[in-house]
Amino acid sequence: MTTLVIAEHDNAQLKGATLNAVAAAAKIGGDVHVLVAGANARAVADQAAAAAGVAKVLLADAPQLADGLAENVAAQVLAVASGYSHILFPATASGKNVAPRVAAKLDVAQISDIIGVESADTFQRPIYAGNAIATVQSADAVKVITVRTTGFDAVAAQGGSGAVEEIAAVADSGLSTFVGREVAKSDRPELAGARVVVSGGRGLGSAENFKILDPLADKLGAALGASRAAVDAGYAPNDWQVGQTGKIVAPQLYVAVGISGAIQHLAGMKDSKVIVAINKDPEAPIFGVADYGLVGDLFQVVPELTSAL
Ligand code: FAD
């Protein structure tokens, strides 16, 4: 039994989500290998080989793998799939783009968004926006799985001594072409992997008012997040949305400001280690999941908290 984890990276840096997927692979048991499909991505392969518990890294290095095109990466995974009992992807935008192609080509049922491993064929995954946990068992010969990264603590990035093996890259599928990438630039940590998240809701009232969270986030070294109501109202950009239809986060500290705590918002943040809620309504459901609650007007309380920090 050997598990293959598909690395997430930008050809220079291994993304942290890979280390969470390696942790899930370790729970399955057996050897853990990592596939790095990229271009000029040797440094990524070396980083993956250094991760705790990784026995071997397969490096497929070619220009057609530079941009993570799902058609080419899926073909690369399929080229080595026969050697593996389990194939794991982080449940990120790119992992979720590739995994279903691999599962379909292997004619197996994908097991999505696991948060727990009971045994080599039995896994836990949230359903109904996290209100119930389904235990699912797969009889497929190869298990193609996406891993909810917040469900598994990342393995250490250092300390491993895996071997890097270069493998032949598949030919360009010709099915898709990379056109361009627009990446939002921010000095703040990436929302999905941040240690601290400060999120604002409809209570902020406007995009201008939303800026009241900037100094607080600066003090805490936090990423900024938002409720869907705040995003829909144009107070915050779309990629800040936390929740069922946004990002799933589980930081050490989550500060919810002017957010009521709708079930769809909680689905994206309730596994945070410490939750702080600031809301003027003492009955707001967010206080039901908060470790620390502050009932007050955010326009008074947030500047006070920021200056106290
Ligand atoms: P509100 O519910 O309007 O709450 C605003 C809060 O601000 C109130 O509690 C109020 O007391 C407080 N407030 C107002 N003024 C102040 C002040 N001056 N000081 C302090 N507090 C103040 N939502 C998400 O967030 N993420 C999702 O991914 C998501 N997905 C969804 C998917 C579906 C299918 C559906 C149906 C809904 C989804 N929603 C999602 C929407 C969700 O149901 C709620 O509508 C939304 O989360 C509410 O956002 P909010 O808490 O910012 O706004």
Asked if residue 259 and residue 212 are part of one domain, the reply reads yes
pLDDT given for residue 283 in this prediction: 98
Asked if residue 14 and residue 105 are part of one domain, the reply reads yes
Please state the rounded mean pLDDT for residues 82-96.
Answer: 96
Element (H or E) spanning 77, and its range?
A: helix 70-80
Does residue 171 form part of some domain? no
ipTM above 0.95, yes or no: yes
86 is in an annotated binding site: no
Asked if residue 205 and residue 159 are part of one domain, the reply reads no
- Per-residue pLDDT of 159-217, as tens digits, reads 999 999 999 999 999 999 999 988 878 889 989 889 999 999 999 999 999 999 999 99
Portion of the chain with pLDDT greater than 70, in percent: 100
Does residue 30 form part of some domain? yes
pLDDT given for residue 184 in this prediction: 79
CATH number, domain containing residue 242: 3.40.50.1220
What pTM value is reported for the model? 0.88
- Per-residue pLDDT of 229-272, as tens digits, reads 999 999 999 999 999 999 999 999 999 999 999 999 999 999 99
| C-alpha of residue 260 to centroid of ligand 1, in Å | 5
264 is in an annotated binding site: yes
Enter the tokens of residue 76.
């690369």
Q: Which of 150, 146, 88, 154 is nearest to 114 (CA)?
A: 146
Res. 53: pLDDT tops 90: yes
Please state the rounded mean pLDDT for residues 119-130.
Answer: 93
Res. 91: pLDDT tops 90: yes
CATH number, domain containing residue 124: 3.40.50.620
- Per-residue pLDDT of 2-50, as tens digits, reads 999 999 999 999 999 999 999 999 999 999 999 999 999 999 999 999 9
| C-alpha of residue 241 to centroid of ligand 1, in Å | 11
197, 245, 272, 289: which to mutate for ligand 1, most atoms within 8 A of CB? 245
For residue 256, the SS3 value is strand
Asked if residue 108 and residue 222 are part of one domain, the reply reads no
Asked if residue 10 and residue 155 are part of one domain, the reply reads yes
Element (H or E) spanning 44, and its range?
A: helix 42-50
Domain boundary among 146, 166, 186: 166
Q: Provide the number of structural domains found in the chain.
A: 2
225 is in an annotated binding site: no
191, 227, 276: which to mutate for ligand 1, most atoms within 8 A of CB? 227
CA distance 205 to 92: 31
Domain limits for position 259 = 196-308
Asked if residue 220 and residue 80 are part of one domain, the reply reads no
* Residue ranges lining ligand 1, Cβ < 6 Å: 201-203, 227-230, 241-246, 258-260, 262, 264-265, 268, 279-281, 284, 297-299
